[in-house]
Each structure stands twice: as structure tokens, then as C-alpha cells.
Amino acid sequence: MSETTNPPTNFIRQIIDEDLRSGKRTNVATRFPPEPNGYLHIGHAKSIVLNFGIAEDYNGTCNLRFDDTNPGKENMEFVEAIQRDVKWLGYSWDERLYYASNYFQNLYEFALELIKNGKAYVCELNAEQTREYRGTLKEPGKDSPYRSRSVAENLDLFEKMKSGEFEDGTKVLRAKIDMTSPNINMRDPVLYRIRHGVIHHQTGAEWCIYPMYDYTHPISDALEGITHSLCTLEFEDHRPFYDWVLDNISVGCHPQQIEFSRLNLEYTVMSKRKLTQLVSEGFVNGWDDPRMPTLAGIRRRGYTPAAMKLFCQRIGITKSEGIVEMELLENCVREDLNIIAPRRMAVLDPLKVVITNYPADQVEQLTLPNHPQDESMGTRLVPFCNEIYIEQEDFLEEANKKYKRLVKGDCVRLRNAYIIQCDEVVKDDYDNIVEIHCSYIPDSIGSNPEGIKPRGVIHWVSARHGVVAEVRLYDRLFAVAAPDAMANKEDKAFTDYLSPDSLHTLTHCVVEPSLTDAQPGDSYQFERQAYFCADLDHGNGKVVFNRTVTLRDTWAKIEQKGR
């Protein structure tokens, strides 16, 4: 699905090109460093494609490293899910799977080095006092009363912290930098805090002090020989501390941190905290709910790795913050599925049609193409008999000439089958149409007999051979394009803007019998309907499909009508 044989350039690639040209770097080594405290989302896909893509294009390496410094919110479920997501996008880290916890001993020893060099101290201010002493964006901070402790005292206290002699929150290790710095991140940031009673998924109960992310990250990069540490713009103000850490310890590598804009997408949220809230409070059915922007969710919905890579290529890499239209993502999905998805017929709201002049005991196996533009996909056999289903919306008793479907007294073509004419309408006691009787025109497959001009073409499924299916019509999770901004503006919770129409479950659909052989994740275009994929629940007697994306952007029409 790539649009060009050469990847588009961007400011990061230009930096790397210059580094290699000038001899500043002789290789390229990147890393994707997620925190295992939730599932990855579409925003992470941008970082994955960037980091692994650059490594591939420059014959370099890209590590997968879990920044696992907060064990209270991390677990192996998230670790395993992240690995699945990276593999799904088509990338491999080979043997380069790391954890920040691999370096806990190194990090501890570097902290001792900082203390010995008068660059770190043990502080006993509580959280409220620490905030007070830190100052504000307009006012400088002031020194902690514990800042002048001797090296010997700091070493003794830090060792006792490590030995578990102090309670949580009573002491932290802080860098000694500058409490008057205009960059608040440089006002003696915390390096270590005490955490008792948590079991780390890698180190167990070995440690009761844990390093902070901003301290851990640059050291992990350096120990792995990373050349270019690529991160999103919210870390731009943290870069001075990144450099300070590496400049003040005896490590032989100093990666270059480069920031780019994060991905903000319409009709969703990208905050892990908010995504966790959606899951924990039951607004969605788990991390892999197809309405979620998680990679697990979009994979279950039927999005493809090729579509995600195309999307990342089209949005590009810049330093400009903005919000990406959902239509761009959905169009990338449509483009890919239009090429790779076999066609099938499915009736979502069935109306029974009895073909009165077709032999009741006859069944034809019609040969239908799997893809109208790709003969290499082959054909399939679809049964046809005297009883079929069509969509309720494909029939009206009366209609003007603009209506291109079946009308009483007129004819229509069944896709890849015969022309039929409606002769009679059967209604119940409440005047609801329950069945229509039609006649078919023999020898009309593939041609229009003289004097007959069908209104249009509609899809169908054999009533005797079709399979009852559950079809889940997924749509955008939120009813407004910017739920965070709207919640802030109107002083509401972001969950107040969840769309009540994000999921409609249809349980009486009828699909081609061949779809029972679909495997979870298989994608199809249900002709004249949308793109669908077999859900994880599909199989073992259950036929379940998720709508991936409509055939065209229906939201544009909705929004236009609202203007």
C-alpha cells in the first residue's frame, strides 16, 4: 500500500542524513519504548512506524524496550499485548527485547555516582511541600532544607531507602540542579521514590525503590547504544534533563533526543488514563473493543497493518500540533480493503422473496467472482433457489424513477443472477410487508432480454441455504470530533460525549453459506453494504461479523445536512 518506493523525507530523516554525512554518527539505532500500563493505541502506531521504519531504511536497528518503572500500574497482560501489536504491524525486534528493569542495578549505581559527585540528595519534603518549594511557571522555586546534606549522609540515607527502612512517601532522591531554572523540569527533579508492597512483573519484590521515568529513559537509551531517541513534543521541555543526566554520569554514549508532534485524531481520545477509564468503568467491552482506538481494537474491527502504515505515511512527521480528520484514516482503510477484500453477499434486514415460477425443488450453483477487478482471487459457488432474501430497504410498493431498486409491478436484477419482477405483496394484520412474490425471467443471467430494463441491481441470499449471522455495526465512539476540548469548554466529563450510536447489533442477518468458513480477522466487502471482518467470536457454530468501515464517508453527508 506504499504510495512511493522511497519513503517521504521529514525533518528527522534530514537530521539523520546530516549526522551520517558529517560523521557524527556511523550507524542508526532507534527504540520503541512503551510503558506497559495499558494497550497501545493509534498514536503509538505513528511512533512504531517511525522508529522501526527508520531502522529498516537506514539498515539500522530498533529495540523494543518496556519502560517498566511503575509496577503498580503495569502487568504482563500489557507486555504481551504490546508485543502482539508491534508484530501485527509487521515489525520485528529480533533479539533486542529489553526492559528498563534490566538496568535497575546500573541505575542505582549511577545514582550513587551522582550523590558522590554532589549532584543528588535525599529529600524529606512531603508531596505538598515539594509542590510549594518548586515554585510556578512565573515564580522561581526555593531550595529544599535537605539540599545541603553531606555526601556521606545522602549515601547512608539512600542505602537505607534501598534496604526498606523508610515508609512510602517519606523520602525521595532528587537531582541537585537549579531551583530557579525557568524550566520547571530542572528544579531538582525526583530520581527515586519508595514503593513497598508492589510486585514487579520482572523483578518481583527485589526492589522497594524505583527510578523515575525521566531519569531511567536517557540511561536506558545510552546503555543500548541508541543514536536517535525519538519522542513526542510533550518531552521537549524534558530534553535538558535528559542531557543533564547523561552529562553527569560515566556512560559512554549520548543519544540525541528529537521530538515530533503526537497524533491527535477526531472522535476519540488518546490518553491512556482516559482509555483505562473507558475500560474499567464499562463504557466499552474491554481494551480490544472495536470502538476503541487501541491497536487491539482496530485489529478486531478489521483495520489492516497496510492501511495503518499508509495512514502514518500520509499524516507525516512534523513539529506542528493538530488534529487529524477521521476521514483520512477511514479512507486509508477503504483503499486497502478495496484491493484485498473478497466480495460476499449478506442481507442485514431480510425480506423474504418467493419466486413463484422457479421450480421449488431446483437449486442452482451460480459461479460468482470473488473480486470484480481481480480475477486472480478466483470464483465461488453461491446457491440459488425459489426462496431468497433481499434487504427490506430494497423494496417499495410505489416509487419514482429515481428509486433504483425493486418496486411492485417492475423488475430489478439480482446481483450476478436473474432479473425478477414483483407481482404480489403479502402483508400481516398490521399492514407490514412480510413477503413478496416475484417471477423470474429465464436466461437473463448476464444479459437483459429485449424490451426489459431493470431499475437497478440488488444483492440477495438464498433463504434455504443462507446462514443466520450476528452483525455488529460499529461507528465512531464519540458523537463530537473533539471530546476533550468540548468537555473542557462545557465543564463536563469527556464520557458525556460518547455516541449512543457507536454500536448496533443485528441478530437476524443472513449471509452466504461460504462465510461460515471465515477465520477470525478475515475481511470481506459485503456487496452494497460495507467492509466487514469475522470477529474473534466467529466459529464453533457462531457466525459473527464486525463492520470495519462503510463503503463511503457517510459522516460527511450527516455533517453537511446539519449545516
Q: Which residues are catalytic?
A: 35, 262, 272
Q: Are 312 and 328 in contact (CB under 8 A)?
A: no
The torsion defined by the Cα of 527, 533, 537 and 540, in degrees rounded to 10, comes to 60
Let me know: does 530 contact 550? Beta carbons within 8 Å: yes
- Residue 123 belongs to what H/E stretch? strand 120-123
* Bridge partners of residue 414, in order along the sequence: 458
243-249: which pairs have CB atoms within 8 A and are 24 or more residues apart?
243/218, 244/175, 244/177, 244/186, 245/175, 245/214, 245/215, 245/218, 245/219, 246/218, 246/219, 246/222, 248/114, 248/117, 248/119, 249/110, 249/113, 249/114, 249/219
- CA 222 distance to own-chain centroid: 30
Expressed in angstroms, the distance from the first to the final Cα of the chain is 35
Looking at the DSSP assignment, which residues form a beta bridge with residue 462? 388
Distances (CA, A) of 267 to 126, 204, 315, 513: 40, 40, 17, 36
Tell me how far apart the alpha carbons of residues 550 and 153 are, in angstroms, rounded to a whole number: 66
Give me 431's grid cell. 399492514
Encoded amino acid at 489, one letter:
K
**Which residues are within 8 A (CB) of 117 and not within 5 positions of it... i.e. 6 or more apart?**
248
**Cα distances (angstroms) measured from residue 314 to each of 2, 9, 85, 328, 329:** 10, 12, 21, 9, 9
Name which of 528, 547, 349, 325 is nearest 433 in CA terms.
349
Query: What's the length of the chain?
Result: 563
Element holding 411 (H helix, E strand): strand 411-414
Beta strands 256-260 and 343-344 are unpaired
**Does residue 312 sit in helix, strand or coil?**
helix
Who contacts 480 (Cβ-Cβ below 8 Å, separation ≥6)?
Answer: 267, 486, 497
Cell of residue 153, nine digits: 549522609
Amino acid identity, residue 163?
S
Select from 213, 270, 241 the least CA-distant residue to 45. 270
| Closest to 385 (Cα-Cα) out of 362, 408, 401 | 362
